[in-house]
Chains A and B, each alone.
Chain A
Amino acid sequence: DAGVTQSPTHLIKTRGQQVTLRCSPKSGHDTVSWYQQALGQGPQFIFQYYEEEERQRGNFPDRFSGHQFPNYSSELNVNALLLGDSALYLCASSLHDLYEQYFGPGTRLTVT
């Protein structure tokens, strides 16, 4: 049973560029949440997708957007990258929004 997978593992981008990160949820899960984890900090909630719609959003600017596909996989897009966007981006999946969220290994984004 495959867990949550994310791609790519690492990414280096330049300020002002755009980036797309990808996530496949755990088998049987239909809800995907994205988190940003800055160095030395706990993860912070970006947004959540369910039934291909953004259901909840944290305190992140509109530069952060996402999408969920019919197979429940999801993308996180960040436009006009800033140095402060450098972080580990974690995807988590769950069945609806029931108790447990299962996390992927993350994508390490470095903005130079």
Chain B
Amino acid sequence: AQSVTQLGSHVSVSEGALVLLRCNYSSSVPPYLFWYVQYPNQGLQLLLKYTSAATLVKGINGFEAEFKKSETSFHLTKPSAHMSDAAEYFCAVRSQGNLIFGKGTKLSVKP
């Protein structure tokens, strides 16, 4: 069965600092992986996706993620945090056409 694990339910960074949100996956087949962002009282917005092409994936709002098969990881990074990045972030793996989500990581950005 496929699954994702997000390490750290809450991450706090200062404005301008590096953002690193961790995601590890378990999959018996080459995975399709996604990062979504959820702002308070809103739905999910797709940040980026990995579909077995380039291992370094660039997304919206300056985010990127690197697929590392040897580490079964798909961590999300952004070089410089902005106040507007404060939100909850979900990693997901595609399973038979649908998505299995992690429990989410809430990102706080301090001024």
Cα distance A55–B96 when bound, in Å?
10
| Chain B min CB distance to A54 (Å) | 12
A4 neighbours in B (Cβ, 8 Å): 43
* Binding stretch for chain B, among A11-19, A62-70, A72-80, A99-107: A99-107
Q: Does B14 belong to the interface (CB within 8 Å)?
A: no
Across the interface, which residues of A come within 8 angstroms of B51, CB to CB?
A: 99
Contacts of A105 in B (CB 8 A): 42-43
Which residues of chain B are near A102, meaning CB under 8 Å? 46
Q: Would you call B98 and A33 a contact (CB within 8 A)?
A: yes
Check if A99 sits within 8 Å of B100, measured CB to CB: no
Contacts of B102 in A (CB 8 A): 42
Main secondary structure of the interface of B (DSSP, over half): strand
Residues of A within 8 A of B75 (CB): none
Chain A residues near B58: list those with CB within 8 A: none
* Residues of B bordering A, CB below 8 Å: 32, 34, 36, 41-46, 49, 51, 90, 92, 94, 96-104
Known: A103-B43, A103-B45. A41 touches B104 (CB 8 A): yes
B68 to chain A, nearest CB (A): 20
Further contacts, 12 of them, CB under 8 A, given A99-B32, A101-B99 = A6-B43, A42-B90, A42-B92, A42-B104, A45-B100, A55-B97, A97-B97, A99-B94, A100-B34, A100-B49, A102-B46, A105-B43
- Complexed CA–CA distance, A90 and B100 (Å): 14
**A41: which B residues are within 8 A, CB to CB?**
103-104
Instruction: Encode contact with B along A78-112: 1 for CB under 8 Å, 0 otherwise.
Output: 00000000000010100001011111111010000
